[in-house]
Amino acid sequence: MRLAPRALCRAAQAAWRENFSVLGRDVARWFPGHMAKGLKKMQNSLKLVDCIIEVHDARIPLSGRNPLFQETLGLKPHLLVLNKMDLADLTEQQKIMQRLEGEGLKNVVFTNCVKDESVQQIIPTVTELIESSHRYHRGENLEYCIMVIGVPNVGKSSLINSLRRQHLGKGKATRVGGQPGITRAVMSRIQVSERPLMFLLDTPGVLAPRIESVETGLKLALCGTVLDHLVGEETMADYLLYTLNRHQRFELGVQWCNLGSLQPLPPGSSDSPASAS
Ligand SMILES: Nc1nc2c(ncn2[C@@H]2O[C@H](COP(=O)(O)OP(=O)(O)OP(=O)(O)O)[C@@H](O)[C@H]2O)c(=O)[nH]1
Ligand SMILES: [Mg+2]
């Protein structure tokens, strides 16, 4: 029997849901320790902070941000940095900006912190945001303090290092790595600019304790915000192939699975999709 595409979608979704809800318990267990402590410390440091930079992955601009940030840290001026733009499809950039604006996010910048692309807009934008904020009472204090927040592995520490490279010509000040959970605690202030005198606070990546949907969880996992084995490599691969098929990007699936050298089945042969019933 051949399943209609809609039925296939439902079957695939049921499979992820089952796998994810079993494996999701491990993800939840992975959450509390340093993330809960980190969030508390972030809240406690908030009174010293003039502005929040939230970093997120440009490949999933509309999903996976942690709603707790808005609830607990939402009172300060806010800039959303969509990082890893080099890995994202930016053809829909305008639409993405419009959707985010509709959600109240007016200040959005796309960056690549490995190649320092578009990072130079950040300090002027943040300065403007702080100075136009109605809560801004500078007094004698001539320095800005910014907190960098986001889910794990989106490039928070890379952004700080990139700003330092660009504005101070200095090397790495905070550790970066390809696994989620590299930064484990709220760090002391790191200088990123001389004029204006600006310091950034690096923070550990914090995921929402409850991820809003199975699909969001899988997107977050594919972007490396959760350790692969906690979600299950097979479930992730399954979802990736499903997504590529849904967007009719068959060539990417073939390339990714290294199936390029396989010959297509002749029409009518017993295993060809055309003959399936
Ligand atoms: N392709 C690409 N990779 C990036 C970019 N920015 C950071 N990375 C890589 O993403 C990985 C995570 O970077 P980090 O800066 O450690 O991320 P983080 O958000 O501080 O991670 P945690 O501290 O674990 O929460 C590293 O392998 C970086 O080299 C980018 O713009 N493009
Ligand atoms: Mg970090």
CATH of the domain at 66: 3.40.50.300
Question: Is 218 inside any structural domain?
Answer: no
CB atoms within 10 A of CB 205: 25
Same domain, 17 and 136: no
Are the CB atoms for 29 and 227 separated by under 8 Å? no
Q: Which of 51, 45, 70 is nearest to 135 (CA)?
A: 51
Residue 128 host element (H or E):
helix 122-131
What span, in angstroms and rounded, lies between the C-alpha atoms of 177 and 157? 9
- Ligand 1 atom nearest residue 85's Cα: 31
With respect to residue 209, please indicate whether it lies within any of the assigned structural domains. no
Assess contact for 100 and 80: CB atoms under 8 A: yes
Each residue's pLDDT, cut to its tens digit, for the chain (277 residues) gives 444 555 555 666 666 666 655 455 555 555 556 788 888 899 898 888 999 999 999 999 999 999 888 887 778 999 999 999 999 999 999 999 999 999 999 999 999 999 999 999 999 999 999 988 865 666 667 799 999 999 999 999 999 999 999 999 998 999 999 988 888 888 889 999 999 999 999 999 998 877 778 888 889 999 999 888 878 888 888 888 888 888 888 777 777 777 666 555 555 544 433 333 3
Expressed in angstroms and rounded, the spacing between residue 249 Cα and the centre of ligand 1 is 26
Report the distance separating Cα 211 and Cα 220, nearest Å. Answer: 9
Both 16 and 45 in one domain: the answer is no
Are both 39 and 20 inside the same structural domain?
no
Give the residue numbers spanning the domain of 251. Answer: 5-28+232-262
Q: What is the pLDDT of residue 1?
A: 42
Please say which residue of 151, 179, 201 terminates a domain. Answer: 201
Distance from C-alpha of 199 to C-alpha of 186, rounded to nearest angstrom = 13
State residue 137's pLDDT score.
62
What confidence score (pLDDT) does residue 274 get?
39
**Domain shared by 88 and 21, yes or no:** no
Residue 173 and residue 149 in one domain: yes
Question: Is residue 220 included in any domain, yes or no?
Answer: no
The ligand 1 atom nearest the CA atom of 162: 6
Distance 188 CA to ligand 2 centre (A): 13
Number of structural domains the chain divides into: 2
**CA–CA gap between residue 79 and residue 77 (Å, rounded):** 7
pLDDT value of residue 277: 38
Look at phi and psi of residue 135 and say left if phi exceeds 0, alpha if psi is from -120 to 50, else beta.
alpha
Closest ligand (CA of 225): 1
Tokens 């997107």 belong to residue: 219
C-alpha 176 to ligand 1 mean position (Å): 6
- For residue 144, is it within any domain? yes
Nearest of 193, 198, 204, 202 to residue 50 by alpha carbon: 198
Question: Both 76 and 170 in a single domain?
Answer: yes
Q: Are 147 and 52 in contact (CB under 8 A)?
A: yes
Q: Are residues 19 and 145 in the same domain?
A: no
Domain-located, residue 95: yes
- 16 and 43 assigned to the same domain: no
* Pair 66, 134 in one domain: yes
